[in-house]
């Protein structure tokens, strides 16, 4: 794919980098993994993965000098970005998991799962769950009943504007499973661990990336 944009995976010490890179290779991409702000400043597409604590994620982005580079790319140059798990939560303004400021690219905050007394479920939510797609671009190619994805999380995104919700799922109560605001995409689930369903989501994002880069 000579006109395919390269993909830069942001390494800030908390990501499931190998699995994401391997899935991209299966989709005929050669990803770059880097925590160097100068290299991120040249990226044409970004993936922000992540597992772990919200505040630790924001601290590492700041410590490595990545916040400013990412802001310039995503907000300034409109470079497509996909956040995964913690990376998706970092797109929001804040999280109940900590006190640090998120990237704030999505008008949203992150909340802990809360259950009615007597109906408590295990936290973290871990395993396969059906999602209800709300964004046809994000979930293009998925047939009804073929939207099962792998989750590991104790917190979930709450969007100000329901139009930013790309998918919902259910764990005790409905929660946001994916977000999208133009070129900013986020998946609470792990597409890189979700077999062919996750591969389809990543392929859809790559198609969007290629279209965006051809138009720029």
Domain boundaries, the chain: 8-215
Average pLDDT along the chain:
94
Asked if residue 2 lies in contact with residue 28, where contact means CB atoms within 8 angstroms, the answer is: no
- 192 has catalytic annotation: yes
Q: What is the mean pLDDT of residues 80-97?
A: 98
DSSP 64: T
Closest by CA to 83, choosing from 159, 183, 207, is 183
Q: What is the mean pLDDT of residues 68-84?
A: 98
The per-residue pLDDT for 163 is 97
The per-residue pLDDT for 2 is 38
* Measured CA angle at 159 (ends 156, 161), to 5 deg: 160
Q: In this predicted model, what pLDDT tens digit does every residue of 1-12 receive, in sequence order? A: 334 778 999 999
Query: Which among 125, 190, 195, 197 is annotated as catalytic?
Result: 190
Q: What is the mean pLDDT of residues 87-103?
A: 98
The per-residue pLDDT for 117 is 79
pTM (2 decimals)? 0.95
The per-residue pLDDT for 169 is 97
For domain 8-215, give the fold.
Rossmann fold (3.40.50)
170 pLDDT band, cuts 50/70/90, is very high
Q: In this predicted model, what pLDDT tens digit does every residue of 11-35 receive, in sequence order? A: 999 988 999 999 999 999 999 999 9
- 146 has catalytic annotation: no
Q: In this predicted model, what pLDDT tens digit does every residue of 189-215 receive, in sequence order? A: 999 999 999 999 999 999 999 999 888
Query: Which among 85, 125, 153, 183 is annotated as catalytic?
Result: 85
Report helix, strand or coil for 88: helix
105 pLDDT band, cuts 50/70/90, is very high
Q: Which DSSP string do the residues of 132-159 spell out, in sequence order?
A: EE--TTTTTTPPTT--EEEEEESEEEEE
The per-residue pLDDT for 118 is 75
Is the model's pLDDT at 146 over the cut of 80? no
Reduced 3-state DSSP string for 42-73 = CCCCEEECCCCCHHHHHHHHHHCCHHHHHHHH
- 195 has catalytic annotation: no
DSSP 72: I
Q: What is the mean pLDDT of residues 121-134?
A: 96
Q: Given CA atoms 130, 132, 135, 141 in this order, what sign does their dihedral have? A: positive
Partners of 129 in the beta sheet? Answer: 149
Asked if residue 83 lies in contact with residue 186, where contact means CB atoms within 8 angstroms, the answer is: yes
Asked if residue 89 lies in contact with residue 58, where contact means CB atoms within 8 angstroms, the answer is: no
């Amino acid at each position: 794919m000579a006109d395919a944009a390269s993909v830069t995976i942001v390494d800030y010490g908390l990501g499931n980098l190998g699995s994401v890179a391997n899935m991209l290779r299966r989709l005929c991409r050669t990803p770059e993994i880097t925590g160097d702000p100068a290299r991120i400043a040249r990226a044409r597409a970004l993936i922000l993965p992540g597992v772990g604590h919200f505040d630790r994620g924001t601290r590492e982005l700041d410590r490595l000098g990545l916040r400013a580079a990412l802001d310039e790319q995503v907000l300034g140059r409109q470079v497509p970005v996909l956040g995964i798990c913690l990376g998706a939560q970092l797109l929001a303004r804040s999280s109940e998991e900590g006190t640090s400021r998120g990237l704030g690219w999505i008008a949203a905050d992150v909340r802990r799962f809360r259950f009615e007394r007597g109906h408590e479920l295990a936290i973290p939510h871990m395993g396969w769950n059906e999602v209800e797609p709300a964004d046809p671009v994000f979930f293009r190619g998925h047939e009804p009943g073929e939207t099962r994805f792998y989750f590991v999380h104790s917190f979930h995104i709450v969007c100000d504007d329901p139009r930013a919700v790309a998918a919902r799922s259910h764990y005790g109560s409905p929660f946001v499973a994916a977000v999208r605001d133009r070129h900013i995409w986020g998946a609470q689930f792990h597409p890189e661990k979700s077999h062919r369903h996750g591969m389809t989501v990543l392929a859809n994002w790559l198609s969007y990336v290629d279209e965006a880069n051809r138009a720029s």
